[in-house]
Structures are given as structure tokens and as C-alpha cells.
Structure 1
Amino acid sequence: MKKIILDQIRAKPDAFLTYDQYISLALYHPDKGYYMREQSKIGREGDFYTTPAMAPVFGEFLGKWLCRTLKEAGLPPVLAELGGGSGQMAANVLKGFKKEDPLYSDRLIYRIVEGSAYHQAAIRHAVGDDSRVQLYHSVTDLPSCEGIIFSNEFFDAHPVKVAVRDGQEWLEAGVSDEAGELTEAARTIGDEKMKRMLREWSIPLHMNRVEIPLQMIESYETAVHKLTRGYMLTIDYGMERDEQFSPLRKNGTLRAYRNHRLLDSVLDFPGEADITFNVPFDLLRSQGETLGLEEAFWGGQAEFLIKGEILNELAHQADFDPFSPESRRNRQIRQLIMGESISDYFRVLLQSKGIKKP
């Protein structure tokens, strides 16, 4: 993958790849990209953990919540999951949805956006021959629908541009070739959308470096336009504006993980490491409002789960066998809602479109 990237740099007249171009190659190159490769990426054998992988009860609860929310709003049973990954989420959501209402579940249409052929095969393996499941390569391919479009750790996997401060001026950081090694360089910003976001975002003066998620915003807007009536549910690793632009993060949040270790640079091990950033939820919230969405919930994942009555999922045990399925399930629920859990790092944004308030 490194050679492919170097060849791309050398083919450019200015010998410069913007960070979104670099990340697109490192993550999504058809043969060598990280997400396209045929290898496990989630769990102990991979490079990172996800909530659905660590706590299957999360997906099952979400399936029940999605079912109730669709019915309460008088919506047809249509779901669209952005970023299907290994299919663990889909399998557990389908299980929970059926438990909540078997007859309604029989009519369910479950659409999944997943661009990796490897992950599409994993999804098919996870859900079996379930005819309710439909796979799509991109958000653009999704049919318009009434229902719920939801995602878990989808937007943080989008390539981003990177702006670096040079005195009073912002430059665009990118990747160049220095004696056969990938190195960072900076140049004058030429992208008008990037310039506009920097102007309108009111970035504090102490920030030296910031990610500009133009592709994330484009995907989000496309998804919103696909939704004719219903809800957008976004669950992701991200922060409020004050946290995002804290002096602690003055050098940005773009980072790479390999074998569960934070790498020194996102330029290390391209194609072999996950590259991610903190989702700036203030952009999704403001853009949603501009596009006519109403905010129904905004907060931490634990708060969302408790408000959604996940505590009702606790099993009331007659025995205290710590290895019983009931005990394991209860531990998963407690880990999701108690302090210093994976939920501490995730935020939940629920937005509605065309839903009349009771």
C-alpha cells in the first residue's frame, strides 16, 4: 500500500496528496485498502473494538427500540443501516426487532450500506439467507424511504481534510514523498468548500490543527435527502464543540490504530491500520437543522440507553452463577451504562423529519 501511495504522489504535478486523498487510498483502495482487505478488523484479533462486538445486548436492545419507535410514529417497518461492517449489529438488531414484535418483523425491510465486498460477505454470513436484508454499496445507492436511517461508527470512518495554522493563516496539510518515505507537507488552501468551513466554523485561536470533514457532511446530507419521513439516528465516537476544540486537542483528533495500539502517525502502516477522528457533532446538528430536521435527542450513549429503558433488559435471576447467559447479559448492560465504560466515548444524535409531535 505504501508503494501505491508513493506512486500516486509522484504522479501528481505538485507531488502532494491531500489528507482525504491519502486516507481514501489507505482505507478504501479496492485491493489494499484497510477496510477492503479480507481480514478481521474488530475484536481481539483485529485493531479496535466496537460496542456491538463487545456487548451483543446493545444491538438487540437497539432492535427493540427501533421497532417501538417506528410503530409509535406510524412508520412502515423500514430500516437502513449505514456501515454494516461485520454484520454483528444487523444480526442483533434483527433478533431484537423480532422479539419486540414478530408479526411486524415479518414485514421488515432492512437495508445495509457497506462498500467492502469482504464485509458484505461477512454480513451475509451473519444474517444467513434472510430475504429482508438488502445490501447497497453506498448511501447514494439507497432508495428513498420512510423509516429510520441509523449508523454506529460510520461517520468517523470518512476521509477528512486537515488544516494547520501558520500564524494567522490556515494551510492545508497533506502527504508528500521524502526519499521514499511518507512525510507531511502543507500548502495554500485551494478548495473553496474547505475555506468556507474554516471561515464559518469559528475555530478558537489556540487550535493548531483541525480536521475538515467535507466527505462526512456530504454523506450525511445524502442520507437526510433519502429520508422522506422518519428518523436519523447517529451513534459515533465524537464530542460537543467545547470538548472538540479543547486546548487538550489543539493538534486535532486524527489518529490511527493497529493491533489495538495508537500509532505515532497516521502515515505509519497505510492499509494496515484503522484511521479515525472525533466526529464534530455540532456540524451534524446544525446541518440537520438547516435541512429541516428536528432534534429529538442529543447526549451520551449511556443516557440514551437508560432513557430507552435498557434496564428492563436486566434478567432477574434465581441463581447467582456468574457464568450463566443471564449473568453475562446483565454484565454487558451494566458495562454499557456505568461510568468508565465504552459508552463514555460515544454520543447519540436522534433527529426527526416529518414526524408530528404528540
Structure 2
Amino acid sequence: MTSVVSATIAAAATATSAVASASASVDPQDQSLYGMTPNLAFNTAMAAIFGVLFITQAVLGLWTRQWWFMVSFLIACGLEVAGYVGRALSHNDNTDINDYLLQFICLTIAPVFTMAGIYYQLGKLIEIYGHKFALIKNPMLYSYIFMGCDIVSLIIQAVGGGMSGSAAADYDNTATGDHIFVAGLAFQVASMSVFLFLWFQLAYQIFVATRIQHAGLSRPRWSLTSISQLELDYLYRPKFEFLRIHPQRWVFIYFPWALTFSVIFVFIRCVYRVIELAEGWGGDLITHEVYFIILDALMMSLATTILSVFHPGLAFKGRSVKIPIKSASKVEDSDHGDDVAGSNYSSEGYRDKEIEQRAPLPKPNFDSPSVASSMQQNREVYI
């Protein structure tokens, strides 16, 4: 995992220098680099907001021992703070190339680190609910594949930025380099689209398909929403039952929703950036700050705030529970022969130190006449 972080930072640094070259195509002589003047109050407020979020993530990360998530979000929040400081400084001088590059570079690459922290949480949910629900049976591949895509995206942006910078230095047309730079952002949006598809597939299997199976139906119905997660827990991985329902906690129950909305907000922001830069340095989106306020600043601040309230360290009891991410085959080996009540949790790092381990809920006996009759009644209700 450390090597992946290093590769991401290295690619981001390369893209940073290249974007600086690309931005040289904007003539800083006696004209605004933005096509407008950034609002001082707004950008100062955003720098303060992300400063508070930085401190919040640091405190929660240290307290809950969520090292990967903490580092990823601290880098993202730090970049956001630096970016908005650059925009605030540009209010007094919107022709200063250094302030312009500071905000452009930092705000462009910050979502890469936001998503890096989010990707890893998908693997944890697969461990908690069960590998059988995921299309990719090795949860770590979600992190490796999509972080790899983000690195490729940064490299493409670096190549395009370098070409634009070279062309600008020679007073040539920068269109080719600009198009390659936009293609790098578009590649990031495409990879996030795939990630959203895999996440929605997993959520469907965990929260919808299980209800269909429990009710004995063949297709979804709105009436299935009356089935509680407590009733479905026998269909999930027994090893983490203590984390899901002993006791039921609102931060865990709503965490999948929080993760969903956070990814959607980042996705909206990335789509906006692609369209913005596709229009060119003088397009309507890039020269009107209201679009930036709604589609970039608001989206990223909401995504970060949601995952500060529904922090994975709180949802997964990170201070007292460890959730090692394994491939499906290793999970089958480790789960085989385990006592259902969790006698092997402490040896594998699963035991919740804060509460006494409870016995799991009994699985319904579908061969029992009374249970079969009850299931038949459920089918009639849901039909």
C-alpha cells in the first residue's frame, strides 16, 4: 500500500509541473488569468472550511487509527486549503501566475486523494458483509485498480500539460496538448463511472437481492423496504455480525449511503472540470465563478463533510476492531471451522474490545413447518 501512495504522489507531482507549463499558454500580461476576479470572501471562507475539515480528519483518524483514510483525506484537505488560499490571493492581483498555478494545480488533483481514501472503504464493506456479494472477489483489487487509473489519469494530464507548455514557449498552438490534458481528466471520470457501477452492484446485492431472497420473491418490490437489516443479517458473513448488529448503530447503518453520496459529489465535480476545460481557458464555465462555487467547491466540501460525520473509523469501530482485507479463498480458509459465536475473533484481530461478544442470531430453519408457513405468508404480503 505504501508503494501505491508513493506512485500516486509521484504522478501528482509530475502532473503538477506539467499543468504549470500548460497554464503558461494563458498570457499573464495585463489581463486576468481567470477571465474574472475571484471572490475574496467566498475563497477565504472555503479555505477556513477545509482547514476545519483537515483538523477534524486528523483528530478522527488518529483516534480511530484509520491511517490510510486519514493520510488520503489530509492530503486532499491540505490541497483544497492551498488552492483556496491561491484564489483568495488572486483577488488582489488576478494576473499573478504563481497564485493562479497554486489554485489550479491543488484544486485539480485534490479529488484523486479523496477517492483514494474512499476506494479502500469498499473493500472493508465486502469483508463485513461477505465476498459473495462482490463481482471482484479480492477486495484489495478495487483499491489497486482504481488508484492505478487515477495515476494513469495524472500521467496523461502531465503529458498534455507538458506539450501545451512547450507549444506556448514556442508561440505555437497549444490545442493538442490541451486536448490530451482534458483526455486525462475524462479518463478519471470514466474510471469513476466504472467504480460507481461496481459499487451500485454491490449495494444492490447486499441490500436488495438479500431482501428478495429473504421474502422468497423473484423480483424487487417497494414492499421489501419493510424488511429490516436485522432480519437479513443471517445472510451476511457471520464473523462480523457483532459489528453490524451488536448493537445496531446509526453511523454504521447510514455509512453506505454516506459513501454513495460522497462518490456522486466527487463524480459531479470531475465531470464539471472536464466540461470546463474542454471549453477552453476562455469558456463560460471557467470565467464565471458561480459554476465553480456550485459544481466544485460545494461538491468537494459536501463529500468531505459527509465522511467526517460518517467517518469510517466510527462506522467500523476502528479504535477497537481491525478488518484485514483478504481474497475470497483466504476468507473461506479462515472462516472454515470458526465458532459462530466468535471464539476466534481475538486471534485474527476481529474482537471488539469495547463490548462483550454476543451470540449470533439463529438462522431461520426453512425446513421447519412453522417457518415455511411464515415465509409463505411473507410472500403473499410482498406479492
Q: Identify the TM-score tier after normalising by the shorter chain.
A: under 0.3
TM (normalized to structure 1)? Answer: 0.23
Which protein has the larger Cα radius of gyration, Structure 1 or Structure 2? 2
More strand by share: 1
More helix by share: 2
